[in-house]
Structure 1
Amino acid sequence: MPQANNSKLYLGGICVLMDCSGRARPPFDSIIDLIGAGVKWVQLRDKEATRLAVYKAARLLKELTKANGLTLIINDYADIAAAIDADGVHLGQDDLPLSEARKILGADKLIGISTHNLEQAVKAQEDGADYIGFGPIYATSTKKAGPPKGPQSIKEIRNHIHIPIAAIGGINEENVAELIEAGADALAVASAVMDAEDISKAADAFVTFVTRLKTSQ
């Protein structure tokens, strides 16, 4: 089970991207379903809401995730992550530099970086990232960062960095196994869970499948 500097923070298995952009279902309802399904790592991401709205949602999620032992990452906003005492922040290539986010959050919080090629992945590790998101692996409507990289790209990245890799982009139950075999430590899923008619059932299926794959390795 990959972990960050703080041994209590979970960085493996399934990370559900709670992408609230354009979704009517409030974060509160979704997190209840995810907790019930055994998800242990979530990321709050909303590219459309105001910072105040993100802060309010994040503050509520923090209470629920803390009480249930989940790792909570805030997408983009290091200041909001610090304000609510989240477990960390996830930054894109055009967001606040990692070094500045570290000043805001301190040494014990997680900082993840979205990467799309080997050079970015290596730099993220050198700069002190706790983990990287890498992709998009497959075609996806929620991750617009160039053409799909394919599962073989995870093998290449794995040969050059030692920090956890969260594969992202177009992940579903049909391609989970090949990503785990390629060396991904975690799988970041959004639409496959958040757009499901039954979020709890969809999340439970991912958790069960990945746990079985990891156990058999």
Structure 2
Amino acid sequence: MAGNIFGKMAADTLGLSDIGKIIAPQDFNKVDGDDYIMHEDGEKIYFVIKSKTDEYVFTNLGLIHVDGESAVSKKRVVKRHEFYSENVHSVTLETAGTVDLDVEIKFSFGNNSFSIDVDKKQIEQLKDLYKALFEIGKIQHKNNKSYENGINSLNMANEAVSKSRIEGNVALTLEDITKFNFSWMNNMKEQFSNKDFGQVFEKYINN
């Protein structure tokens, strides 16, 4: 136990640890991730965590991860994860123990998992992010269920049509059915795939 404590203290002293800091809103324009915001599409930053190597920029449209190789390298890889195409899930928050210097938030965007250590003095702010991400995941889960129900209803209707006798021009009828299915699926996708979760962030993030 003592070895772990002293090892962690030494890591912080030597700058080997990578505990993130939550950036104040007035400094959002100073982080690297701000350069990749889609202002033209109404994208807005709501939360930023910055460590020695990485930046995690949460916007109304998703997450911009500015991935650094090391604290001494200037090389960065910018990765974008959007709510429209990736579901948020497995959101957890691990609070600090007596000797811990950090708290940890974990979550996933689709198949991509994240684990971010944050200064434990900023736990109250991190709780806001936890609540926002959890709520977004809940909304997406509900939307997915509604979309699945819609597709199942469409499949049932198609099955009923396939068993009925088609009168007139069969080719034209099949073309109409195909167009209807395509339009139905697109409308369902648009209706139950939120692109913008700004309202959720505004509800939970106290900037």
Do they fold alike, i.e. is TM over 0.5? no
Structure with the largest fraction of helix: 2
Larger radius of gyration: 2
TM-score using structure 2 length: 0.26
TM-score using structure 1 length: 0.26
